[in-house]
Amino acid sequence: MPQAPMPEFSNSVKLKYVKLGYQYLVNHFLGLLLIPIMAVIAVELLRMGPEEILNLWNSLHFDLIQVLCSSFFVIFISTVYFMSKPRTVYLVDYSCYKPPVTCRVPFATFMEHSRLILKDKPKSVEFQMRILERSGLGEETCLPPAIHYIPPTPTMDAARSEAQMVIFTAMDDLFKKTGLKPKDIDILIVNCSLFSPTPSLSAMVINKYKLRSNIRSFNLSGMGCSAGLISVDLARDLLQVHPNSNAIIVSTEIITPNYYKGNERAMLLPNCLFRMGSAAILMSNRRSDRWRAKYKLCHLVRTHRGADDKSYYCVYEQEDKERHVGINLSKDLMAIAGEALKANITTIGPLVLPASEQLLFLSSLIGRKIFNPKWKPYIPDFKLAFEHFCIHAGGRAVIDELQKNLQLSGEHVEASRMTLHRFGNTSSSSLWYELSYIESKGRMRRGDRVWQIAFGSGFKCNSAVWKCNRTIKTPKDGPWSDCIDRYPVFIPEVVKL
């Protein structure tokens, strides 16, 4: 009996060491190459002796013109290099909105309200109960005050007051943390997918904080849960054009006006999962912020699959038979998300993966094309490229799917799962709650790379790669401050209601 498992174990250990050896070899190839070259030169020099070296030096005729030209050339090349290098964009700090405890919605309350409101549609209530049981949400997620009423009263006033509550609280917190004065904001980007009043939410922010009249403000709406990273992309592009500026991004989703009042099953899903939340982020390209910035933006890759009809229609806002507006989620959402992710990985892979993985992927690709199409495609190991992963907490299924596809361990997706449990699906701001979780757990060290992946309607898959600029001390306040000690929790497959 002990004979059979031993060989397997030693095989896998052998394989592990082979892999490690291979990775080390390929990733440090140039370094490894340099060592023998330096050794040869050193041996040569020692062999030659000091007089010979001096003779060699004197034999090189150095003309004044030659020296001048070569030095100008070097200066010219380095100037061109520094001028054309894209400005580094830093994330100075961010703050996430922590909803008040009085807005809490436990499962029992949600189900009761559901039953009281849809009293003649027991099948829809059953459906909602099953979704909630398997959703991965906890008992502390929050809905805005207007949705607590029986029946809910989603008026425009209520939506505006929810927007004011979540956005202004997050921004006040950000101002306090960074010491930023409202008059110093150069660029303002607000993204909120489903609530778009006139004047816009960015105008609301400008009005409240009395921002400058020459501020560059943008309001992105309708772009789904990946709008947060789209805003970051926009901020980065703007910060390339405007030197010495900062940008504030507000990512949120206003739940009040989007409560689905009908009973079409595929459209009841968002009611069960979407919760209140928002995040305010300060980005800057100023050199003075380099020392206190938390992260540096390395890459941002956006992939849009809208050209494909199936992807376009998979998250679709429409009216049901009774003229209630809701968001229809199609059944093949997971498959489409998987495809979008593959497209995104194909673009981001070469930018972030170490040479060893890229080589393996390339050889597997060539092999599949030329030799045998039936070879399994090699999935590069992204764990080598990143220390932390923030997967949009769109739902338990999304996180499970990505964990499987990218072969991530439980600890890698812990931030996403725990954010889903504590805050629910807060749409575009969920990535920031997850980042805050990692920081609150004290896991963020200088030089760590973070990969944020967001999915959104359209169908879009956007990723951002950040590099941690300084080791971050566990924050004393923040959305996780009072409950981080309870996490991680075990989330059962099905919670019996």
Partner 1 sequence: MEEDRVRFICKRTVVSTKSVEQGQLYRFSVFDHVMEPNHIRLVYYFRSSKTREPGEITKKLRESLAYTLNCYPIITGRLVKDIDGMDEKDDLNRQWKVKSNDGGMRMVEARATGTVEEWLRSVNREEELKLVHWEDMYHLPYYWSTFYVQVTEFDSGGLAIGLSCSHLLADSVCAMMFFRAWADLTLTRNMMAPPLFHSLPPRRFANHGMISNNQLLSHYIKSCALNAPPSNLTEDSIVTVTLLFPDPMVRAGESEPGLSTFEILAGLFWVCVSRAKGKTNEFVDMSLCVDVRKLLRLDQSYFGNCMVYHKVQYSKPFKTKDSLLLSHAAQDIHNATKRLDYDTVMDLIEWLSSNSNPISNGSDLVCTNLEDMGNSRPMMFEKDLILSHVSCYVEGPVAGGGQVIVLPSPSCEEPTSRVVMISLPRREMVKVVEDELLLSFSPVLLMDYTKQKNV
28 assigned to active site: no
Does the CA dihedral 366-354-294-92 come out positive or negative?
A: negative
Distance CA 140, CA 132 (A): 13
Distance CA 46, CA 68 (A): 32
Q: Is 148 in the site for partner 1 (CB under 8 A)?
A: yes
Sheet of strand 460-468: strand arrangement: 216-220, 187-192, 246-253, 277-284, 90-96, 295-304, 460-468, 449-456, 388-391
| Least Å from the CB of residue 174 to partner 1 | 25
Q: Which of 149, 407, 446, 447 binds partner 1 (CB under 8 A)?
A: 149
3-state secondary structure of 199: coil
| Least Å from the CB of residue 106 to partner 1 | 4
Distance CA 109, CA 94 (A): 32
Which string of x and - marks every residue 85-124 that binds partner 1 (by CB under 8 A)? ---------------xxx-xxxxxx-xxx-xx--------
Of 415, 421, 418, 406, the residue nearest 444 (C-alpha): 415
Catalytic residue among 142, 219, 246, 392: 392
3-state secondary structure of 452: strand
Q: Binding-site residue total for partner 1 (CB under 8 A)?
A: 21
Q: Is 72 in the site for partner 1 (CB under 8 A)?
A: no
| Least Å from the CB of residue 107 to partner 1 | 7
Give the CA count within 13 Å in the CB-facing half-sphere of 242.
17
Of 414, 347, 410, 407, the residue nearest 382 (C-alpha): 407
Taking the least distance from each CB to partner 1, the nearer of 142 and 393 is 142
3-state secondary structure of 394: coil
| Least Å from the CB of residue 165 to partner 1 | 12
Taking the least distance from each CB to partner 1, the nearer of 124 and 246 is 124
Taking the least distance from each CB to partner 1, the nearer of 107 and 127 is 107
Q: How many CB atoms lie within 10 A of CB 402?
A: 23
3-state secondary structure of 90: strand
Q: Is 4 in the site for partner 1 (CB under 8 A)?
A: no
**Look-up: residue for tokens 């390395």?**
298
Catalytic residue among 96, 225, 390, 461: 225
- Which range binds partner 1 by CB under 8 A, 149-157, 170-178, 267-275, 378-386? 149-157
DSSP string, 267-335: HHHHHHHB--EEEEEEEE--GGGTTT-SEEEEEEEEEE-TTSHHHHHSEEEEE-TTS-EEEEEPTTHHH
299 assigned to active site: no
225 assigned to active site: yes
- Which range binds partner 1 by CB under 8 A, 148-156, 190-198, 430-438, 449-457? 148-156
Q: Is 150 in the site for partner 1 (CB under 8 A)?
A: yes
Taking the least distance from each CB to partner 1, the nearer of 25 and 116 is 116
388 assigned to active site: yes
3-state secondary structure of 181: coil
3-state secondary structure of 31: helix
Taking the least distance from each CB to partner 1, the nearer of 103 and 359 is 103
Q: Is 43 in the site for partner 1 (CB under 8 A)?
A: no
Taking the least distance from each CB to partner 1, the nearer of 30 and 150 is 150
Distance CA 16, CA 377 (A): 20
| Least Å from the CB of residue 101 to partner 1 | 4
Taking the least distance from each CB to partner 1, the nearer of 110 and 432 is 110
| Least Å from the CB of residue 113 to partner 1 | 7
Q: Which of 27, 88, 153, 169 binds partner 1 (CB under 8 A)?
A: 153
Catalytic residue among 421, 461, 462, 468: 421
Task: Note the residues at the interface with partner 1 (CB under 8 A).
Answer: 100-102, 104-109, 111-113, 115-116, 138-140, 148-150, 153
The catalytic site residues sit at: 225, 304, 388, 392, 421, 425
